[in-house]
A and B are shown apart, each in its own frame.
Chain A
Amino acid sequence: DIVLTQSPLSLPVTPGEPASISCRSSQSLLHSNGNNYLDWYLQKPGQSPQLLIYLGSNRASGVPDRFSGSGSGTDFTLRISRVEAEDVGVYYCMQSVQSSSFTFGPGTRVEIK
């Protein structure tokens, strides 16, 4: 199975400042069709997770443009250009290149300093 690791696991942030989270995969997530099958999800406290970024760098519908995703192969990054209070929660990366078995990363908890 593909293993995803995230860093950091805990991220205190200051509103208005940038933040970034790394997701690394034990195998390449680049499919032969040219897409990287790596998503980012945010689970706000007490809520179901929501999709932020799909295929490594595409913002999902309704996601603010302060969120961006980048990377290819085994190394990916989620960036928040200016953190807002509503961005607190746990961020997960998930791979789906292995169509028979998806996996999530361990999660990164983002909290306001």
Chain B
Amino acid sequence: EVQLVQSGPEVKKPGESLRISCKGSGFTLSNYWINWVRQKPGKGLEWMGRIDPLDSYTHYYSPSFQGHITISADKSINTAYLQWSSLKASDSAIYYCTRLNDFWSANYWGQGTLVTVSS
């Protein structure tokens, strides 16, 4: 069974760094593009970026997030990551990882990771 299992909720202070993870099971992560999607409380979905875990060098970022986040992957442990070097309060949200199929559709989603940034 294909699953994306994300790391648990995080509470951080502004300016702190953070890395959240997304572990694939039931498939080989390096064979699929992985997306990250943000959802602020009570709001809609925002596409953040995606990575090709096969080489970890091919990735794209939404202009809204470029420079503020880094998407990476470790194919040896079938895991993708989303990280920040300096969090802001406005980064408080649920973050989803998704697996893309051959038609760029997100046919598998993780359960989401809640990130709370507050002083």
Q: Please list the residues of chain A having a beta carbon within 8 angstroms of any beta carbon in chain B.
A: 1, 35, 37, 39, 41, 43, 48-51, 54-55, 60-61, 90, 92, 94, 96, 99-107
Q: Please list the residues of chain B having a beta carbon within 8 angstroms of any beta carbon in chain A.
A: 35, 37, 44-47, 50, 60, 62-63, 96, 101, 103-107, 109-112
Across chains A and B, the number of contacting residue pairs, with CB separation under 8 Å, is 65
Chain A's interface: helix, strand, loop or mixed, by majority?
Answer: loop
Inter-chain contact A107/B44, CB cutoff 8 Å: yes
**19 other A-B residue contacts (CB within 8 Å) besides A1-B63, A99-B104, A101-B47:** A1-B62, A37-B104, A49-B45, A54-B101, A55-B103, A55-B105, A60-B107, A61-B107, A90-B44, A92-B44, A92-B45, A94-B45, A96-B103, A96-B104, A100-B60, A102-B62, A102-B104, A103-B62, A104-B45
Q: Which residues of B contact A39 (CB under 8 A)?
A: 105-106
